[in-house]
């Protein structure tokens, strides 16, 4: 499904988990890099007004649906896609990396979260080789000298899969910048996924996720940051709903 506005166009081009992991395995086999973005409603509020973010998104060759509203919109448009939150992709991506002998890097969050996430991943994914853990300092510029330094670290480490946990828009901007400097590395932006693995943040219970109430859980955990974000998301839903309806195939 493609979302279009006067300032941007972004397409969910990996509509299912099998399609995504076939593409990742193919990239690993060919020695090619990639940039994977997980499109959610917050991103759809940012893209029309943040040109730098939109340009970074355009550099991502894999886009999946992260968030039930995006999945519901795709169904309304009769172009259904699977729900694939970035948090749920970390272990499967690392499993594919271990299967193919691909070394892994963890970038973002905090040193504590990276250490905790690495411990969980090493326990849950046999054969996984994590060769780099790096948490950029506060104020990190995703296209500046610090980003260049991380690219050099990736090159020296031999990592070919980089799990990026910097939050939007920094993680997408970093991935778009780094893919040119590290063309053999796959960059997967996963938001708070590493924090969830490490237990630094507590993810919503499974029942709440199944009932599409994870947003309420996160708002309660961090109201100062999350309530304004979700207010903006709810505000754009009518426009996106109309767009999805108008995107239905003719004759539907």
Task: Give how far Cα 143 sits from Cα of 48, 61, 149, 153, Å.
Answer: 21, 19, 10, 15
Cα end-to-end span (Å), the chain: 16
pLDDT, tens digit (0-9, with 9 covering 90-100), for 112-127: 999 999 999 999 999 9
* Residue 197 contacts residue 114 (beta carbons within 8 Å): no
Residue bearing the bigger pLDDT, 7 or 235: 235
189 band by pLDDT with thresholds 50, 70 and 90: very high
Q: Which strands form 62-65's sheet, in the order they lie side by side?
A: 62-65, 34-39, 186-189, 161-165, 104-108, 130-134
As a whole number of angstroms, the distance between CA 200 and CA 65 comes to: 24
pLDDT (mean) for 153-162: 98
The rounded radius of gyration (Å) of the Cα atoms in the chain is 18
As a whole number of angstroms, the distance between CA 6 and CA 159 comes to: 38
The answer, yes or no, to whether residue 5 has pLDDT greater than 70, is: no
As a whole number of angstroms, the distance between CA 240 and CA 31 comes to: 38
- What does the pLDDT read at residue 230? 86
The answer, yes or no, to whether residue 7 has pLDDT greater than 60, is: no
Q: What percent of the chain has pLDDT over 90?
A: 78
Tokens at 123, concatenated: 């326990």
The answer, yes or no, to whether residue 216 has pLDDT greater than 90, is: no
252 band by pLDDT with thresholds 50, 70 and 90: low
Nearest to 179 by CA among 171, 169, 168: 171
The answer, yes or no, to whether residue 218 has pLDDT greater than 90, is: no
Cα 246 versus chain centre, distance: 27
Residues listed for the chain = 252
As a whole number of angstroms, the distance between CA 177 and CA 155 comes to: 15
Residue 223 backbone phi and psi in degrees, to 5: -65, -35
Mean pLDDT estimate for the chain: 93
Secondary structure of residue 65 in the 3-state scheme: strand
As a whole number of angstroms, the distance between CA 172 and CA 175 comes to: 5
* Residue 3 contacts residue 33 (beta carbons within 8 Å): no
Domains and CATH numbers, the chain: 2-246 (3.40.50.10700)
CB atoms within 10 A of CB 8: 19
- What does the pLDDT read at residue 234? 87
The answer, yes or no, to whether residue 213 has pLDDT greater than 90, is: no
DSSP line for 4-39: EETTEEEE----SHHHHHHHHHHHHHHT--EEEEEE
């Amino acid at each position: 499904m493609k979302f279009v506005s006067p300032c941007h166009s972004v397409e969910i081009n990996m509509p299912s988990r099998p399609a995504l992991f076939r593409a990742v395995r193919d990239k690993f086999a060919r020695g090619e890099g990639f940039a994977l973005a997980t499109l959610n409603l917050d991103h759809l509020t940012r893209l029309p007004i943040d040109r730098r973010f939109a340009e970074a998104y355009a550099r991502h060759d894999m886009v999946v649906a992260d968030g039930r509203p995006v999945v519901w919109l795709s169904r309304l448009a009769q172009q259904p896609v699977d729900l694939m939150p970035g948090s749920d992709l970390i272990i499967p991506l690392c499993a594919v990396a271990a299967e193919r002998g691909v070394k892994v890097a963890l970038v973002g969050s905090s040193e504590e979260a990276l250490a905790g996430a690495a411990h969980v991943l090493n326990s849950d994914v046999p054969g996984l080789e994590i060769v780099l853990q790096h948490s950029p300092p506060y104020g990190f510029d995703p296209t500046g000298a610090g980003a260049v330094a991380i690219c050099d670290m990736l090159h020296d480490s031999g990592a070919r899969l980089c799990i990026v946990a910097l939050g939007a828009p920094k993680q997408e901007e970093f991935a778009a910048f780094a893919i040119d400097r590290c063309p053999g590395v796959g960059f997967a932006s996963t938001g708070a996924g590493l924090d969830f693995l490490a237990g630094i943040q507590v993810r919503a219970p499974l029942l709440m996720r199944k009932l599409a109430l994870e947003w309420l859980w996160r708002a309660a955990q961090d109201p100062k940051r999350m309530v304004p974000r979700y207010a903006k998301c709810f505000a754009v839903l009518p426009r996106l709903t109309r767009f999805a309806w108008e995107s239905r195939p003719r004759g539907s």
